[in-house]
Amino acid sequence: MSNYGEWQESKKEYKMEKRKKRHKSQLVLLAIILLIGIPLVIIVGITKGSEGSKAPVKPMTESAQIKKEFDSFKKQILSETTQMVESEANFNEFVKAYSTGSFSQVEAYENVKEYRDIINQHRSNLIEMKFDERFPEKLGAHLTKGKSKILDGIAMKDSALASLLEYLDEGKTSELAEYRENSPLYLVGVKAGLQEINVVEKIVNPKK
């Protein structure tokens, strides 16, 4: 056999050997994937199974426990809304004083900006207020709705104060009109929210 023939033969053998090695590598890789994949599937299945079998939350049934949970939540809400009403009364006094020239425009801007921060702190405080998830669903719906209405009122006040800042900064009378339209909706929301809380009050703490 010529040198060329020998080279061609060895080339064929090399290619065949290379294919064998590649095939062997693929088999090893497949085995590794199966070894890792199967336990992972089992673990995921067990995890999902344990999540699916999680015991449902049992609602409160004892009236004393329900009363205690409601009174705690109501106390937080009333404390926050009392502060809100008081700070609103003080702010309205400031607005009257500004209209009579007792404050400069710069002072007014700073006061409004500061009050807006206070309003948003009330928002954060309310969002943090929770009641036990075991609280009776129908009663809990009123508490959630009540808190939501108060937060809606806060959103309207925040929007009103943003308009007032625009008015003080740029002198747009349209922004002043927006403020006057939206500002009163703040306490409307607070009142509506407290009415929802009061629905639960009458059920949990009926007057004798």
pLDDT tens, 24-69?
A: 555 555 455 555 554 544 444 544 554 455 666 677 778 999 999 9
pLDDT tens, 119-164?
A: 999 999 999 999 999 999 999 999 999 999 999 999 999 999 999 9
Q: In terms of residue numbers, what domain contains 178? A: 63-203
- Please report, for the domain that includes residue 164, its CATH number: 1.20.1420
Q: Phi-psi region for residue 101, left (φ > 0), alpha (ψ -120 to 50) or beta?
A: left
Same domain, 123 and 23: no
Same domain, 17 and 86: no
- First-to-last alpha carbon distance for the chain, in angstroms, is 117
pLDDT of residue 34: 52
Asked whether residue 4 carries a pLDDT value surpassing 50, the answer given is no
| pLDDT band at residue 87 using 50, 70 and 90 as cut-offs | very high
**Dihedral, CA of residue 142, residue 145, residue 150 and residue 151, to nearest 10:** 150
Same domain, 45 and 147: no
Q: How many domains does the chain have?
A: 2
